[in-house]
Structures are given as structure tokens and as C-alpha cells.
Amino acid sequence: MKIALMMENSQAGKNAAVLSELNHVVSAQGDSVYNVGMSDENDHHLTYIHLGIMASILINSKAVDFVVTGCGTGQGAMMSLNIHPNIVCGYCLDPSDAFLFNQINNGNALSLAFAKGFGWGAELNVRYIFEKAFTTGERGQGYPLERAEPQQRNAAILNDVKGAVVKDSYLDTLRAMDQELVKTAVSGERFKSCFAENCQVPEIADYIKELLA
């Protein structure tokens, strides 16, 4: 699995700690982590709005399989990601949130609160969140198990509803946004490296190349 970690300006100072915990958990099973957001307060400036655009491009181009993100409360980043096509982002404050989202909703992104409640032992909570998100076996199995069938059915229906709401092609969606906003989102060097290395949709690659020209 290819996992993107992306953090915005208000919590960029915690990037090194969060990245360390994510790598600690997933490296043993051969997953790759791409640190595509801000690494400190002096890095390429991003807001949670940019995070949604970045996640959208990486997921829809199949450059990564999963996104870990967040902001001060985790709410803004979650909303920013969920407005985009094919993104299902959960809100995660503790390890049980990660496990239940994994099993019931089976989405492709998690938003964490990196300020609210981020106190003593926070790095342990983050580590245990990542363990429940990435090392608990097959996803989407339901919880409790006797509820698996309706949970899986409803998750699929929700994806269908979102697909019906977002009717334009994905490139049309990107082009309908403020292009300077999109350009800022995709201009970070680590983002560009991850995208160039892993993008599997030539049409999106061409659009990004044209935008950055």
C-alpha cells in the first residue's frame, strides 16, 4: 500500500513525530509512506483546503492508496477531503475510531486532530491509531460481525450517492476550481515527486504538467 501523509500550516511542527509513528507501524509490512504536505512551519505553505485538493489528485490518479491527514481539530481537513470525488475520509480521535472506520466504512483517508487533545502521550495515541488503521487484517469486514452485510451494503450505497452528486468528469472538476489554488496545492516538491513517480492516469498527469508550466 502507498500512503500519503499531508499536514497543513497550523500543525506542521508535529510532522516529524507523526511521520515517525506512521513509518514505525507500516514499514514492517512493506507499505510506502510519502510525506507530501508541510514538514515544518517554513515549508511550502498549505491550508486544509489545499490538503483536500492534494488528496483528491493522488487518489484519483492512483498515485497512492490511502491518505493520512488532519489539522488542529481534524474537522476542517475531513470536510475538505470529503467534498472531492472518490474520497471517503473518516474522523479519527482514538484507535477505536480507526478500527471502526476501517471495518465499517472502509474508506481511503483519515483525518486526525493534531492540536485538540494532543497532549501527553499523544505520539502513543497516534501510533495506536495507525496500528488499528493499517495492521488489523482485511478491511470492510463489519463490526460487530453480525452487522457486516448491511454495513457493506450501506457503504456501497453511500459511494453511489456521492458519485451521482459529482456528475462532471474529474478533470472538469479540477478545472472548475480556482487554478491558483490548485497550483499551490500541487507545487510542493515532495508532492510533485510522489505524483510523478506513481501517477497511473495520463490525463491527470498532463493536466498537472500544463498547470505547472
CATH number for the domain harbouring residue 15 = 3.40.1400.10
- H or E stretch including 88? none
Report pTM.
Answer: 0.95
Per-residue pLDDT, 168:
78
Helix residue ranges, H only, the chain: 15-26, 48-60, 75-82, 95-100, 122-134, 148-165, 170-176, 179-186, 189-198, 202-212
* Type of residue numbered 147: R
How far is Cα of residue 16 from the mean position of the Cα atoms in its chain?
Answer: 17
The structural domain count of the chain equals 1
Per-residue pLDDT, 10:
96
Query: In the β-sheet with 109-113, what is the strand arrangement from edge to edge?
Result: 32-35, 2-5, 66-71, 109-113, 89-92
Per-residue pLDDT, 111:
98
Per-residue pLDDT, 137:
86
Q: Which residues of the chain have pLDDT under 50?
A: none
State how far the Cα of 143 lies from the Cα of 134, in Å rounded to an integer: 16
Per-residue pLDDT, 148:
87
Dihedral sign for Cα atoms in the order 85, 138, 69, 72: positive
Beta bridge partners of 110: 68, 90
CB 11 within 8 A of CB 72: yes
How far is Cα of residue 111 from the mean position of the Cα atoms in its chain?
Answer: 7
Structural domain span for residue 144: 2-212
